[in-house]
Amino acid sequence: MSLDRLNEYEKWGNSGMDYVWAVGVFVILTLVFAVLQKVLVKLTEKFVAKTKTELDDALIAMVKKIKPPFYMFVAFYAALLYLNIEGVAETAVRVILITWITYQTVQSIQIFIDMYVGRRITKTNERSAESIIHIIHNLTSIILWTIGLLFVLSNIGVNVNSLVAGLGIGGIAVALAAQNVLGDLFSSMAIYFDKPFSPGDFVTMGEFKGTVQKIGIKTTRIKSVTGEEIVASNNELTSATLRNFGRLSERRKLFKLGVVYETSSEKLKKIPEIVKEIIGGHDKVRFDRMHFEAFDDWALNFEIVYFVQDKKYEVYMDTHQAILFAIKEAFEEEGIEMAYPTRVVYNKQS
């Protein structure tokens, strides 16, 4: 068929040449998109191999998520621009394109979020990591798809203002009804990401002391020093002031030592040297200071401070016990008598 006959041929308000141009654009764009996707995947994989960023794989997954039906439809839409299409057909194609683009965008964002959250949380090696990942996935999916739906509706001419207002009121009602559950849920996420404590850490909160056993979605379980299990809500833990001994690099020890008033000044001056030598002779112990502190009612008091360079409480107490034993033996050898509460009564006869 010659070009003149193609121009003369007309169907649905378009000439034969218009249809030829449309088909040509569709074929060319489909091939270009297919080649472009393969090139982008290869370039991204090469870029990822040279970097250490954990989210590089998300870029590859996002590019691979674009399937041939999607870019073929984009090419089809571009081809239709060369044709005169109005009415229901034009509206239907435009709605499908907007919906499909929104779908691809939401999917790509979801891939990025899932990969980031998954890699961040699985590093904790928590037994409940899969549960928290699943919850975050569902929450982000609801948010993203809601935004996507509103975007599609607004672009096809639907007034979404009343719908947004309704969703806002409904969201407030749900939030108020489930504020405690949601508070614990978001607190558990804060614990995972901020990491104020981890399983195995020894923590104190008010009158409670114990070792963190498990961080759950709603509660955290702590094994108390007295043996029982403490179940505390995550919201309570993130709101309270915690002391985390699991992050210690060393433990400070301050204690006082009293000797009797009958101790001579010569022996009194030897006491700091004796104690310093004993403390400095232990492994993982850093001597800080020792001073003759005060003349108390029934003793001459010294104040001693040292650090045990091990966070384990058992090592800390074993070290302090060994130091006290050594001080007692050294004082016995030197004839230095330790003080204890006494009262001396002098009876003056006239």
Residues 237, 260 within the same domain: no
CA atoms of 328 and 336, how far apart (whole Å): 9
Say which range, 31-45, 47-61, 278-292, 313-327, has the weakest mean pLDDT.
Answer: 47-61
Residues 147, 12 within the same domain: yes
Residue in 179, 220, 214, 335 with CA at minimum distance from that of residue 266: 335
Residues 101, 146 within the same domain: yes
Say which range, 19-28, 46-55, 290-299, has the weakest mean pLDDT.
Answer: 46-55
- Domain range enclosing 321: 251-334
Q: What are phi and psi of 340, to 5 degrees?
A: -145, 160
- If one counts the domains in the chain, the total is 3
Q: Is 180 part of any domain?
A: no
The model scores a pTM over 0.85: no
Residue in 174, 178, 185, 199 with CA at minimum distance from that of residue 238: 185
Residue in 131, 116, 249, 138 with CA at minimum distance from that of residue 193: 116
Mean pLDDT, the chain, whole residue set: 78
pLDDT attached to residue 219: 81
Q: According to the 3-state scheme, what is the secondary structure of 170-193?
A: HHHHHHHHCHHHHHHHHHHHHHHH
Cβ(235)–Cβ(219) under 8 Å? no
Paired with 307 in beta bridges are: 252, 286
Say which range, 151-165, 196-210, 213-227, 322-336, has the weakest mean pLDDT.
Answer: 151-165
pLDDT attached to residue 177: 46
pLDDT attached to residue 320: 95
pLDDT attached to residue 53: 60
| Whether residue 4 has pLDDT greater than 90 | no
Residues 228, 308 within the same domain: no
Say which range, 47-61, 68-82, 318-332, has the weakest mean pLDDT.
Answer: 47-61
Q: How confident is the model at residue 33 (pLDDT cuts 50, 70, 90)?
A: confident
- Rounded percentage of the chain residues whose pLDDT exceeds 70: 70
Q: How confident is the model at residue 175 (pLDDT cuts 50, 70, 90)?
A: very low
Mention every residue, 6+ apart, whose C-beta is less than 8 A from residue 22. Answer: 79, 80, 82, 83
Cβ(116)–Cβ(55) under 8 Å? yes
Q: Is 170 part of any domain?
A: no
Q: Is 185 part of any domain?
A: no
Q: Is 49 part of any domain?
A: yes
Q: How far is CA 224 from CA 66, 192, 338, in A?
A: 53, 22, 36
Cβ(100)–Cβ(70) under 8 Å? yes
Q: For position 284, which CATH number holds?
A: 3.30.70.100
Average pLDDT over residues 132-139: 73
Residues 11, 137 within the same domain: yes
Residues 82, 228 within the same domain: no
Q: Is 102 part of any domain?
A: yes
Residues 75, 197 within the same domain: no
Q: Is 340 part of any domain?
A: no
Residues 97, 124 within the same domain: yes
Residue in 306, 267, 270, 309 with CA at minimum distance from that of residue 290: 306
Residues 147, 214 within the same domain: no
End position of a domain, from candidates 114, 141, 158: 158
DSSP one-letter code for 298: S
Helix (H, G, I), strand (E, B) or coil at 29: helix
- Top-confidence range, 112-121, 312-321, 327-336: 327-336
Q: Is 346 part of any domain?
A: no
Rounded to the nearest 10 degrees, the angle between the axes of helix 129-155 and helix 88-122 is 160
Residues 228, 322 within the same domain: no
Residues 8, 148 within the same domain: yes
DSSP one-letter code for 299: -
Q: Is 111 part of any domain?
A: yes
Residues 15, 131 within the same domain: yes
Q: How confident is the model at residue 168 (pLDDT cuts 50, 70, 90)?
A: low
End position of a domain, from candidates 158, 179, 206: 158
| Whether residue 7 has pLDDT greater than 90 | no
Q: What are phi and psi of 285, to 5 degrees?
A: -125, 130
Q: For position 227, which CATH number holds?
A: 2.30.30.60
